[in-house]
């Protein structure tokens, strides 16, 4: 049996033993026959109960929140359309805020990629700084331009999220454009009694303290409109909803739950999973979801074989890599005292690495992979030798597919 998995900007063909009986955990390619991304956006703008042209009044100052350079969002398609609509409605003083959270500022070439070209005339762009230019709104501090604007538009992609259940929606505000203190306060809720809070995780919404906190503390924004999208395997827009921020997010959550969760009858002994290629496997940090998602399909102590090129390395501070040898309890103490996103990523990874037999096929140095507690793979032909007796699953896009029990999937839908 052979199959092709994405790896970076290339593909890898695996030739498994004839005796290997593997289940492919993948969704149907329902992007076939869909209109292009621009047509999907235009349809959403026309068919919402709260049209953008009715939301914007003449001479309104407008702030638009857009995800930063660390993830694909389809902004190159929808952002120019939104700006055109605002100008047509008479809006003025348009500022686009890049929702950096705690990430570094975007560079000029990255900003052009976000816009799909040159920044339009009359539009100002600011990189969010979590420590400066902040004002209070409701229960937190946010970028001042967002608080001061007559109208605020939030945008983003909805997919499974390892902390908040799903990305998108009000996550554009917190952590997107919130203060560093408010971001850290929210993310610490991932822990309970110095351990991972089981209510936090991909696909979990009800009683999720991270989600509940960000929802509650962003209620201060009243003049709020949203456009959220769902991306397909090739990062193309396959679904969009716009209008009331919470309704829009819920529309996308239902779509993602229906199309990107896979019900499984039981756990597998071996799971082979690709992060889905570039940009999902741009770095180890960026491809964290392939670990958190794929582990859902594997029995504890089973074998996880992960393909993630990580062409940009770990995307974790080099000084922090030494924490891979620390007990999880010590890493938790550090996070509670001085929260860092890269260290949280390490905690999430180690929580899986120490429960499963993890093998990594990547461009990362062998010594660093082994320091992290994973086995180093430099020959794809070895993969077929690593398959344990018993049930095997292959996941072609482990960053976006969430395997869950049939019972859990019924509850999610």
What are the pLDDT digits (tens) for 90-107?
A: 998 999 999 999 888 999
Residue 29 in this model has a pLDDT that exceeds 60: no
pLDDT for res 31: 53
In Å, how far are 71, 105, 107, 172, 309 from 101, measured between CA atoms? Answer: 13, 10, 15, 9, 25
pLDDT bin (cut points 50, 70, 90) of residue 26 is: confident
pLDDT band at 30; cut points 50, 70, 90: low
Structural domains of the chain ordered from first start: 2-26+265-406 (3.90.226.30), 37-258 (3.40.50.11440)
CA atoms within 13 A on the CB side of 402: 24
pLDDT of 102: 87
CA angle 130, 132, 133 (to 5 degrees): 110
Per-residue pLDDT of 116-173, as tens digits, reads: 999 999 999 999 999 999 999 999 999 999 999 999 999 999 999 989 999 999 999 9
- Strands (E) across 8-88 are located at 10-15, 22-24, 61-67
The predicted-structure confidence for 222-256, as pLDDT tens digits, reads as follows 999 999 999 988 889 999 999 999 999 999 999 99
Residue 194 or 67, more confident = 67
- pLDDT number for residue 339: 84
pLDDT tens per residue, range 280-293: 898 998 888 899 99
Query: What number of residues does the chain have?
Result: 413
pLDDT at residue 33, rounded to an integer: 56
Confidence tier at 413 by pLDDT (50, 70, 90): low
Cα-flanking dihedrals φ and ψ of residue 152, to 5°? -120, 130
Q: In the predicted model, is pLDDT for residue 110 greater than 80?
A: yes
What does the pLDDT look like over 295-327, one tens digit per residue? 999 999 999 999 999 999 998 888 888 899 999
**Beta bridge pairs of residue 263:** 404
pLDDT, position 92: 87
**C-alpha to C-alpha distance for 145 and 39, rounded to whole angstroms:** 30
Query: Residues with Cβ < 8 Å from 81, sequence gap 6 or more?
Result: 38, 41, 42, 45
User: Of the given ranges (110-114, 202-206, 315-319, 403-407), which has the lowest mean pLDDT?
Assistant: 403-407
Residue 77 has pLDDT above 70, yes or no: yes
pLDDT band at 366 (very low <50, low <70, confident <90, very high): very high
Angle, nearest 10°, between helix axes 328-337 and 341-353?
160
Q: How confident is the model at residue 47 (pLDDT cuts 50, 70, 90)?
A: very high
**Residue 1: pLDDT over 60:** yes
Closest to 342 measured CA to CA, from 143, 69, 101, 166? 101
pLDDT of 407 higher than 80? no
Tokens read off for 331: 């890493």
Phi, psi of 291 (to 5 degrees): -75, -50
Average pLDDT, the chain: 92
- Which residues are 174's β-sheet partners? none
* Residue 194's pLDDT band (cuts 50, 70, 90): confident
- Shortest CA distance to 257 belongs to which of 166, 157, 170, 393? 166
Give the residue-averaged pLDDT of 382-404.
92
340: left (phi over 0), alpha (psi -120 to 50) or beta: beta
């Amino acid at each position: 049996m052979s199959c092709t998995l994405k790896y970076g900007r290339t593909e890898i063909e695996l030739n498994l033993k004839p005796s290997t009986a593997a289940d492919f955990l993948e969704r149907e390619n329902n992007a076939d026959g869909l209109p292009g991304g621009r047509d999907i956006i235009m349809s959403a703008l026309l068919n919402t109960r709260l049209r953008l042209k009715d939301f914007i009044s003449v001479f309104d100052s407008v702030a638009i929140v857009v995800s930063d350079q660390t993830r694909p969002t389809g902004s190159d398609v929808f952002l120019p359309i939104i700006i055109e609509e605002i100008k047509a409605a008479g809006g003025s003083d348009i500022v686009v805020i890049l929702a950096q959270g705690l990430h570094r500022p975007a560079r000029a070439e990255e900003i052009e990629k976000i816009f799909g070209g040159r920044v339009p005339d009359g539009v100002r762009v600011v990189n969010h700084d979590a420590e400066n230019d902040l004002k209070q709104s409701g229960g937190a501090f946010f970028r001042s331009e967002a608080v001061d604007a007559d109208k605020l538009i939030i945008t983003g992609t909805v997919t499974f999220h390892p902390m908040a259940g799903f990305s998108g929606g009000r996550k554009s505000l917190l952590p997107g454009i919130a203060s560093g203190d408010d971001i850290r306060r929210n993310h610490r809720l991932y822990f309970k009694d110095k351990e991972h809070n089981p209510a936090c995780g991909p696909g979990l919404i009800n009683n999720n303290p991270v989600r509940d906190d960000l929802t509650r503390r962003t209620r201060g924004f009243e003049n709020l409109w949203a456009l959220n999208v769902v991306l397909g395997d090739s990062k193309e827009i396959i679904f969009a909803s716009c209008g009331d921020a919470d309704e829009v997010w819920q529309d996308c959550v239902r779509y993602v739950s229906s199309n990107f969760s896979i019900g499984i009858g039981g756990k597998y002994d071996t799971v082979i999973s690709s992060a889905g290629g570039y940009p999902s496997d741009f770095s180890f940090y960026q491809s964290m979801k392939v670990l958190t998602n794929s582990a859902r399909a594997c029995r504890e102590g089973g074998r996880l074989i992960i393909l993630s090129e990580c062409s940009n390395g770990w995307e974790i501070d080099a000084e922090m890599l030494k924490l891979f040898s620390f007990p999880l309890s010590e890493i938790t103490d550090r996070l509670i005292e001085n929260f860092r996103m890269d260290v949280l990523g390490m905690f999430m990874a180690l929580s899986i690495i120490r429960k499963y037999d993890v093998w990594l096929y990547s461009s990362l140095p062998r010594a660093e992979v082994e320091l992290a507690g994973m086995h180093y793979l430099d020959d794809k032909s070895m993969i077929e030798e690593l398959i344990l007796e018993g049930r095997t699953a292959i996941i072609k896009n482990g960053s976006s597919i969430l395997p869950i029990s049939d019972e859990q999937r019924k509850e999610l839908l």
